């Protein structure tokens, strides 16, 4: 069966510090991978998605970036965090026209 791992579960980082969140998928090959952000009191915003190794589509301009160095690994990064980057970050995988499966999320607080 397929599983998705996302870590860390919680993170407190100072403004201006770098960020690296990792997501890995097991039990499937060539999945579509996604990063979403859920800000407090707001909905789920698609940040990045990837349909293959090295292929990244950005949905929202910001100081975040994403990379897919391996087929089942998706990384969300920032060189310098802003206060507005605080939120609940969710990684997901899916196949075209199929439903998505989510990780347990990372709660990021920028202080």
- CB nearer other proteins, residue 15 or residue 39: 39
- CB of 42 or CB of 80, closer to other proteins: 42
Residues that bind other proteins (CB under 8 A): 6, 32, 34, 36, 38, 42-44, 46, 49, 51, 90, 92, 94, 96-105
SS3 content of the chain, % helix, strand, coil (to 5): 5, 60, 40
> CA of 48: how far to CAs of 5, 66, 102, 111, in Å?
17, 7, 14, 24
Q: Which C-beta is closer to other proteins: that of 75 or that of 103?
A: 103
């Amino acid at each position: 069966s397929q599983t998705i791992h996302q870590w860390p579960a919680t993170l407190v980082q100072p403004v201006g510090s770098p960020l690296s969140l990792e997501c890995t998928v097991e039990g499937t090959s060539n999945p579509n991978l996604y990063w979403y952000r859920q800000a407090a009191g707001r909905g789920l915003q698609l940040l990045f998605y990837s349909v293959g190794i090295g292929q990244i589509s950005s949905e929202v301009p910001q100081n975040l970036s994403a990379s897919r160095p391996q087929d089942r690994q998706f990384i969300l990064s920032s060189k310098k965090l802003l206060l507005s980057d605080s939120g609940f970050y969710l990684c997901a995988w899916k196949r075209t026209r199929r439903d998505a499966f989510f990780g347990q999320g990372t709660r990021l607080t920028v202080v």
